[in-house]
Structure formats: C-alpha cells, structure tokens
Chains A and B, each alone.
Chain A
Amino acid sequence: MNRFDCSRQGEDCAEAARIARELAPLSRPDLAPPPFTDLIWRAEARNILGNRNRRAWRAVAPMRRFLLTLGIVFLFVAGFFAVAPLIGPSDYPGVGFEVPLMALFAVAGGGLFLASGVGGLIYTSE
C-alpha cells in the first residue's frame, strides 16, 4: 500500500507527520491474525451449520409451517388465559371461561403441533 503523501494530498505535512508519529505505536499489531487454515475451517463449519439450519426450515412444507405457526400462537393464547387470573387484580373473581378457553387453545395448539409433526413424518417418508 502507498504511504500517505501529504504534499500530493494538499495537507499540512508537519501536522500529518505528527499524527502519523503519534499513531505509530498503535499500528503495531498486538496479535497476529489467525492462520489462514483456521479461518477456512471456521468459515466452512459456519457455512455447513448455517446451510443446514436454512435448509431445515425451507424443507418444511408451507402447510406445515402454517400449522406450526398457528400452533405456537394458540399455545401463547392458552398461556395468557392460564396466567390471566394470576396477574389480574387480587379481588378479580374470574368470569369462569378462562379455564375452558385455556384448555381449548392448549388442545388446539398441541393438535396443530402434532398435525405439523405427523405431516413432517409423512413428508420425509415420501
């Protein structure tokens, strides 16, 4: 790399020289870069892992992905109904439908998870 030519760049050479002198101790590498082969292995490992994760998600059929997402949402709703009486006011009497709704969403969410899993089994056995 070309050394900085202050006169050609139209800079104050004394100022430039002083800064270069001040920064010189910082420019000395404290640590050597990792060996090239290490770098390649690291990149290779990350590439393989990254691709595997991406491939795994892409391999999930769109319907399965939809069922899985809906299942997660339902389970969250069930979780909300489960904790609602706990986080509500202390004198909250409850309206009586939290438990049935929680059960309903939990069963639906679990069912969607199962459906997605069974779908996956059929998909991969094809």
Chain B
Amino acid sequence: MVDRGLQTVYDEVAPDLYAYILRMSGNQADAEDVLQETFARLLGSGFTADDTLDYSRYLFRIATNLMRDRRRWSRRWQFGKLPESAGRAPENGYLAGIDAHRAMADMKPKQRTLLWLAYVEGMSHKDIAEVMGVASTSVRVMLARARKKLLTRLGKEKS
C-alpha cells in the first residue's frame, strides 16, 4: 500500500533531488537506484509524516552519502552525461549550459556537489555542511575555492 505521507514528501522533493543525482551520476539507472535507496532509507529510519519537518535536507544528505559510496566503486560516473533520450534540444537549455557543463565536468566531485547545493539548490553554508557532513566554516573555504576554479574554467571556455 502506498503511504500518502511519503508520497507527499516524494512529490515535493523528488524532482530537485533526482535532477541533482542525475547530474552528479550522469547515469539514469544509477540515479533511479540512488533515489529509490534514499527514500527506502528515509522509510527505514522510522519515517512519520510530519508537516513541520524539512525532509529535503535529510534526503539530500542520504543521497550525497550514497553517491559518495557508489562513486568509490563505479568509474562510469561522469558529471551530466545523460542518455540520448534526455532533453538535449537547445530549447531545453542544453546548449546554453554547455560551457558550465564542461567546466563542472572538470571539477572534483566534492566541488561539484558544493557548487550545486549552493547555487542550484540555494542552500546556506549551514545546510550544505549538514548535507555533506563537514564543518560550516570549511564549507565557506571550500566553496570559495570551488567558485574560483569554476570561474577560471568558465573564463577559459568563453575565451
């Protein structure tokens, strides 16, 4: 039987979470597996539908940890490498983001995660620290480095 509470959380969080996992893994099958495992873990942790709780941070944290574990044994993971069925038409923004895509693909997985959580998901340093399991002060430093590196890469791409 489908749990309505969990479905509500899924409907709210899954689109952003799936986009994040899909971009980080570049593999649709793995992304679906990670998404499934993330929600299975939420359910396994004694989930009870509570409107006052923000599950997204928790779910992003689980997904980030799962991806980190999988990345260790899976060399096929590559940023943003998407199946042919994915929307690659210019109107879907694929060409518009091609420089950023190349620049991001060139970054270390940790830096990509940081940049994505900060500038796509719009998380605060505190939230990012919680999701990635690092100190909040480290996030500031790591993010500054990642930002500088990305901008340098983007500059090279543009020139």
Interface of A with B (CB < 8 Å)?
1-5, 8-11, 15-16, 18-20, 22-34, 36-37, 39-40, 42-43
Contacts A1-B16, A15-B151; A33 near B35 (Cβ below 8 A): yes
* B132 located at the interface, meaning its Cβ lies under 8 Å from any Cβ of chain A in the complex: no
- Give the residues in chain A near B104, CB-CB below 8 Å: 23, 26
- Give the residues in chain B near A29, CB-CB below 8 Å: 15, 18-19, 22
Asked if A39 and B124 make an inter-chain contact with CB atoms under 8 angstroms apart, the answer reads no
Taken together as a complex, chains A and B put the C-alpha atoms of A62 and B56 apart, in Å, by 44
Asked if B124 and A15 make an inter-chain contact with CB atoms under 8 angstroms apart, the answer reads no
Main secondary structure on B side of the interface with A: helix
* B71 located at the interface, meaning its Cβ lies under 8 Å from any Cβ of chain A in the complex: no
Residue from A1, A15, A32, A36 within 8 A of B10 (CB atoms):
A36
Taken together as a complex, chains A and B put the C-alpha atoms of A39 and B104 apart, in Å, by 29
Nearest chain B CB to A49 CB, angstrom units: 14
> Total A-B residue pairs with C-beta atoms closer than 8 Å?
119
Nearest chain A CB to B152 CB, angstrom units: 12
Contacts A1-B56, A19-B147; A28 near B93 (Cβ below 8 A): yes
Asked if B100 and A26 make an inter-chain contact with CB atoms under 8 angstroms apart, the answer reads yes
- Other contacts beyond A4-B123, A30-B86, A36-B10: 10, CB < 8 A: A4-B122, A19-B119, A22-B154, A23-B116, A27-B120, A31-B28, A33-B18, A34-B35, A36-B6, A37-B2
Nearest chain A CB to B11 CB, angstrom units: 7
Chain B residue with the shortest CB-CB distance to A44: B40
The 14 sampled A-B contact pairs (Cβ below 8 Å) are A2-B122, A9-B140, A11-B147, A15-B147, A19-B115, A19-B147, A19-B150, A25-B94, A26-B97, A26-B101, A29-B15, A31-B22, A31-B87, A34-B32
